[in-house]
Amino acid sequence: MKESLLYEKNGSNRSAIWGDALPWVTGGLLVFALVAFALATPPGLLSKADMVAYAVCHQIGSHSFVIAGTQLPLCARCTGTFLGALVGLLGQGFVLQRRRAAAFPPPGVLTILVIFTILWAADGLNSYLALVGGPHGYEPTNELRLVTGALNGLTMSALVYVVVNVSLWKCPMEVPNIRGWRDLGLLLLLEAGLVGVVLSRQGFLLYPIALLSAAAVLTLLTSVNTVIAVILLGRENSVENWREALFPIAVGFLLCLVQIAVIDLLRYRLTGTLQGIPSLH
């Protein structure tokens, strides 16, 4: 009996020590990953943004916007999708102030959001058919890719926002993140503003749009990976404040960087270039 108690005590102590050390280990790995990314990728902020986008976007030149003579990191559709998702997340958190909302929108609003994604998918299919010389309903444009991408990004943000809150917080708020048509209208105005900014193609907007595009990719991937992290760590619904949330978010960010690195390496091995997909240029 004494040996059993001693074993349980030692095991408990080891678990406690490992639990205390895990945030520090994660922090060290995160610093290492950031330094490795900085050193392994081409120099310059725009090049770093390109390498983040390289993991999620085909970067075909003809499907991308050019500002001040420089192609944006993401194609027009991905620019709309990822920046649209970022705008949607920020809109829900700060404009609508649904910080811990853990319920999906009502059926009517949810139906409209699903329609947004259907429009995005239909335009994407039409664009692909046009690219390969197949039968298509209309001539695709980057402007339409951007708009449908932004609408889909709003849908993605609405889903991700709730899933993260449900998984992370100990006491999430059982209210919809988008309560009704007024909320949806406000978010659509924000998306319209985003589309207008990108379409203006003002030279001074190159760096803000490019860097925000990379930040949007990191934000969306980190959000999804944070949910995975809390499940793997057995910490679902255990976070009470933002200070406690830093650890699972850091793990999610670390997983995001690893994910981007792996995809970048695989794509480079397959294509031999850090530019857009060669066969589709």
17 part of a folded domain: no
Residue 48 belongs to some domain of the structure:
yes
Q: What is the pLDDT of residue 280?
A: 53
* 9 within a domain of the structure (yes/no): no
Q: What is the pLDDT of residue 277?
A: 77
For residue 269, the enclosing domain spans 30-280
Share of the chain above pLDDT 70, in %: 91
For residue 3, being part of any structural domain is answered with no
In a domain, 16, yes or no: no
How many domains does one find in the chain? 1
144 to each of 120, 168, 200, 209, how far by Cα in Å?
9, 36, 15, 18
Q: Is residue 100 part of a domain?
A: yes
Residue 244 resides in a domain:
yes
Question: pLDDT tens, 177-196?
Answer: 999 999 999 999 999 999 99
Q: How far does Cα 278 stand from its chain's mean position?
A: 25
For the segment 248-264, what is each residue's pLDDT rounded down to a tens digit? Answer: 999 999 999 999 999 99
pTM here? 0.91
Count of Cβ atoms closer than 10 Å to residue 194 Cβ = 23
Please determine, for residue 3, whether its predicted confidence score (pLDDT) is greater than 80: no
pLDDT grade for 241, boundaries at 50, 70 and 90: very high
**Average of per-residue pLDDT across 51-80:** 97
Alpha-carbon separation of residue 50 from 44, 93, 103, 189, 234 (angstroms)? 10, 28, 35, 28, 35
Q: Would 39 be classed as within a structural domain? A: yes
